Structures are given as structure tokens and as C-alpha cells.
Chains A and B, each alone.
Chain A
Amino acid sequence: MTSSLLHYRAWHGPWRKPLWSVWPIARVALGMLLRRKLFWALYGFALLLFLMFFFGSFLLDWAETQLAAAPIQIGRLKTDPQRTVSFLRRGIRVLNGSQDTFAYFFSYQGAMVLIVLAFAGAVLVGNDFTFRSVGFYLAKPIQPRHWIMGKCLAVAAVVHLLTTLPALVLFAQHGMSDFDYVLDVDYFTANNLGRGPAGWQLALGIVGYGMALAVVLSIMLVTAASWLRRTMPLLLLWVSLFLFMRVLASILVDGLQYDGRWRLLDLWNTLGLVGHACLGFQHRNIGNPPQPEFWEAAVTLSGVCVACLILLKMRTRDVPIVR
């Protein structure tokens, strides 16, 4: 049996279309990342925030039971437990499973996503250029767009692992404590606990917010890492894009009273606006006014993505596959 294996054998199997190559490219990139201890350390750190949201909700439930059992009395003033609970729930929307909860969660978790991606960019994409592996991929019967899609899929998977997946776990947690939360879209408005939808609309909003983050950040990261390759330059660019531009936009709008559209420079805020739209926020309820319209944010992000894709096309076109 062994000797038969030692002979070269012809291959007559089925061939798949080039689009199928996207998954192996993404799988290999993710495999590289998941082997790094640093990634797991950062992922564990990022999950701390999720745990805070997860157990915070139990804390809220516990506080409610305590209030129901023993009403709070301040001096001679006795409070109505129901009103106190309702007040408490409105006050800490961050934990009650409303759209505010997820907006805060994505916003805080996003900071961690940015840090993880700045470190992961070199592993997921930069190494392909440093070690010329990109030539290996493009010499195969695929188009550059399949390589780009594979890499973006890998980055998107990391983003979802850090944001959408924990957010959906939070959604399920709240759904399990009160099943009406999953069934009734008007759950929060009817109970006067929140300002937006619950139920499947909220679940879709969470997925939508995660998708917006994943698509935009993956395209930006793949573009940046394909040009900069190394972690430190990537980190500097990332800090410039998401921190320096945030400060600049704040100075222009809040300090110099420029038009609210200048906030579009702050890409993290712009992403947040699109995410808020997905979660069903009314524009007037967005914090830190004045803010650009949702559609303006969407157009800006689309423009950024198109510009990145043009840069990526240029980058992959110049890869010396045959030297």
C-alpha cells in the first residue's frame, strides 16, 4: 500500500469556482492570528467589558428584587418600589438591554477592536507582502478580488468575534430573562424603559451595526496593512485616523462652532452614526450634537471604502508574481 502512494498519480477530480478560494484564504489568515498569544490576551481583555455588561444586568435584577422586598425609606419619605425600579431602569439604560445598551457596548468594545486590529493587521495582511506570499496566491487561478475578499473576511470575523457575537449573547441573555423582550418590538416604549425597538428589530440592528463595523474596518485595515505591512506604522496610522481626527473634529465643531458635518472627519463617530441608525435611534436622540445626518455618514463611509478598494486594486496590480 505504501509503495503505491509513492508514485505520482494523475488527478481527475472536480474543480470549484474561484469564489470558493475566499474561504481558504480567510481560514489561513485567521489560523495565523489565532496562534498568537497576544491576540488571546487582547481578546480576553476585550471580553472584560462584555462581562461587565453581562453581570451588570444580573446586578440590576438583584437590585430590583431587593427594592421590591424592602422599600427604600429616606427620613420620613417612603418611596414606591415600582417607581424606584422604573427610575433605576431608565437611569441605567446601559444595562437594561435597550438600544442604548448595545450602542454603549459597541462604542466601548469598538475601542478594543481598533487596538486588536492594529496589532492583527500585520499578521493578517502585512506578512503576505513582507514574505511575498501574495504572489503565491495571485499565481493561482483566482483574481486579486478573491484575495481581498478572503482577507476582509478574516478581519470581519475578528470584528464579529469582538462585537457582534458578544452583543448577540447579551441580547439572548435579556431575552431569556423576559421572553417578551424577543417577541415585542414595542417592549421598551410600552414599559417606558427605553426609546427604541426591542425584539427582532433590535437583533437585526445589532447585526447591522456589527456588519457596518466589519465591512468598513476590514476594508480599511486590509488597505492600510497592504501598504504599511508592519505593526508600528499601522498603529500610528490607526491612532491618527481614529484619535487625532476625533480630536480635530471635536475642535472644529465644539470649539470653533463649525458645521456639524465636520464631525464626519471622525470616522469612529461616523461609524457610530450608521450603527445608531441600524439600532433604530432617532437622530435627535444622538448624543453630542450637532451631528451629521445618518445618510451623510453612510455616504462618507461608502466613499472611504471605495477609495480604499481603489488603493487595494493598485497595490495588488503591482505585486511582482513573476520576477
Chain B
Amino acid sequence: MFLDLHGINHWYGTQQALKDVGLQLERGRIGMLGPNGAGKTTLLKILLGLVRPTSGSGQVLGRSLHGDGTELRRALGYMPEADSLVPGLRGVEYVALAGELYGMPRKHALRRAHEVLTYLDLGEARYRQVEEYSSGMKQRLKLAQALIPDPPALLLDEPTSGLDPAGREGMLDLLLRLATEHGKTILLSTHLLGDVAKVCEAVLILHHGQVLCHGPVAALCRRRHDRYRLHLQGDPESFLEDLRLEGVQVLHDNGKGDVRVAVPQGWTTRAFFVLADHHRVTVRGLHADDEDLEELFHRVIDEFAAPGEMIRRTPSRERP
């Protein structure tokens, strides 16, 4: 088991950051979501053994939260959001230093640093000083220093922060590969729902220090039998007009042939093809429009929030 937490509470003075957090999460790819102030940072600190919870108990990969923290941090590779580089060091020296801090002998740390940097496509840049790295390279360097001890689990804080779309895709592919090919457990803390949707199979939603829900994304998202996504080819105007006359509600039309609809009771999917044939439109795709991660997140938060309450910042699908 990755996380086994029972009744974790944490206070900063009179401010309660975590309220009775209880979690049992198996190893895998887990996304941690929540608005600002939800308690994500505090939970990460507790998991890393940097602060002890005010009350409650728990284990991370079988290691107690109430130890001195070094055992926890040895089992977890942490990739911070902030740069936290050591200026003046070359890439390979920086990663090897991380290895030595984890407790590797220097020679082994240096050899492993070369391997990890090559794996992360930084082989060519490993002798450059870290302050000369681009944003994408810095992110990969931070991942490299988390990977050097070959930890069973990685804690990633906004790993795609500051990356362009191509860099972001590359980073997410890399994380997916680490999880699927090398069995790494990933806890991804981010504001970007798209990142979680792409990489994670389970999600943990925090709000006001409480765990609102956790579990596999597929199990948490509601299945909806009255909504469909259509991908159309041809001029869909008259087709959509006809659908409306039949009582179908067009929820979204992107103008490029992708349409989301809500159908009335008793509707059969065969009717789409009959109408499409009538209007000389080809239905190239037809999928049940189940709740996605973004909708799940907003539903869970809305269900929790008291009437009139303002949520300071909700995660977004894309970077603003």
C-alpha cells in the first residue's frame, strides 16, 4: 500500500490545515487536486516527513509518519515546483550531489547521475551549468534529482509548470512511462486537470483540509446514459436542427464537427444514424459522454461548498 493515513489533523496556530484526513491508497498513478489553501502542501510536507501531524497516524510505503523523516524521504523522490537549483554546478554534478545526499557513495552517485540524465534526454547538456538550462530542461533536471535513488514513489509538485505545450506533453509521457514501464508510484500535485487526466488512474480531491473523495477516476466519474459525444463529417446544420426537433439538446458544438448532446428518455443511438443518413452527414464517432475529471472536480467541490461560498482558485484544464 502506498498511503495509509488515519485521522490526520494538522494545525498552524489557530488555523487547521488538515481535518481528519483518512486515506488508503494503493500504489499507482495518483493525482492530488484541490483549490489553493486546500491542504495539498501540508499533506505533501507530512508525507515527506518535514512536519509531524498534530494528531493522527499513518504510513507511507510502510514507513511511519512519526519517525525522524529521513526514512520517508529516502523512499520518496520529491520534485519541487520551485527551481531550487544550486547555481555554479553542472547538471551532472547537481544530480550526483542529490545522490550523495540520499546516501549513495560518490562514485556510484556520479555513475547513476550520468545514467539518469541520459534516460531523461539531458545527456548532451549534462556538463552545462544548471543556470544555463531552459525551463523544460530544468524540469527534467529536477525530475532527475528525484529519480537518482531509484525511489519506489515520486512526489511531483506541478511538474509541467512553465513548460510549453510540447514540453508538457513530453514530461507527461515521461511520467507515464516511469509509472507503467518501471513501476513507479506517482503522486502528482497540480492545478492542471489535463495533466491528471492524462497521467493518473486515481485521484484525490482536497478542499478546506478535508479529503472530499479519492479513488480510481473511472469509478468516481458518473456514467451518464443520456449524453453522447458525436464526431460528424459534412454540413451538420440541418442535422442538428432536426435533432433539436426530436427533443435532443445540443450542449456544445465546436463548429468542427464535435458535438455534445443530451437525449430524451427512450432515445436509441440508431436514431442518430438514421437522421444523419437523411441529411447526408457521416457519423464518424459516437461515444457515451460520461462525466470527465473536470466535471467530477467541480461537482465534488460544489457539493461540499456551503451556499454563497467563494472558491479562491479552481484548477483549470489549461494554463492561463
Q: Which residues of A contact B (CB under 8 A)?
A: 5-11, 13-18, 20-21, 24-25, 28, 31-32, 35, 127-128, 131-133, 135-143, 321-323
Contacts and interface: CB of A to CB of B under 8 A. Distances in A.
B260 interface: no
17 contacts: A6-B118, A7-B119, A8-B115, A16-B103, A18-B103, A131-B83, A131-B84, A132-B83, A136-B85, A138-B50, A139-B78, A139-B84, A141-B74, A141-B103, A143-B69, A321-B80, A322-B44
Most buried by A among B71, B84, B105, B149: B84
Nearest to A136: B84
B157 A322 contact: yes
Contact of B100 (A10, A24, A133, A138): A24
A131 B85 contact: yes
B73 A14 contact: no
Interface of B: 41, 44-45, 48, 50, 68-74, 78, 80-89, 93, 97-98, 100-106, 108, 112, 114-116, 118-119, 145, 147-150, 157, 178, 181-182
A143 B68 contact: yes
Contact of B48 (A15, A25, A322): A322
Contacts of A8: 115-116, 119, 147, 178, 181-182
A132 B114 CA distance: 24
A15 to B, nearest CB: 4
Given A21-B101, A136-B145, A321-B45, A6 B87 contact: no
A142 B99 CA distance: 12
B80 A135 contact: yes
Given A131-B84, A321-B48, 16 more contacts: A9-B150, A15-B104, A18-B103, A20-B100, A21-B101, A24-B101, A24-B106, A128-B86, A133-B86, A140-B73, A140-B101, A141-B70, A141-B102, A143-B68, A322-B45, A323-B80
Contacts of A5: 114-115, 118
Nearest to B147: A8
Nearest to B142: A136
B149 A11 contact: yes
B258 to A, nearest CB: 37
A140 B44 CA distance: 14
Most buried by A among B86, B89, B157: B86
Contacts of B83: 131-132
B86 A136 contact: yes
Contacts of A141: 69-74, 101-103
A16 B101 CA distance: 9
B127 to A, nearest CB: 15
Given A6-B119, A140-B73, A131 B87 contact: yes
Nearest to B93: A28
A133 B102 contact: no
Contacts of A24: 97, 100-101, 106
A214 B305 CA distance: 58
B161 to A, nearest CB: 11
Contacts of B78: 139, 322
A256 to B, nearest CB: 47
A134 to B, nearest CB: 8
A6 B122 CA distance: 11
A41 B45 CA distance: 44
Contacts of B112: 11
B87 A143 contact: no
Contacts of A133: 84-87
Contacts of B93: 28
A24 B71 CA distance: 20
Given A5-B115, A18-B70, A143-B70, A132 B84 contact: yes
A13 B118 contact: no
Contact of B41 (A6, A135, A138, A323): A323
Contacts of A6: 118-119
B98 A323 contact: no
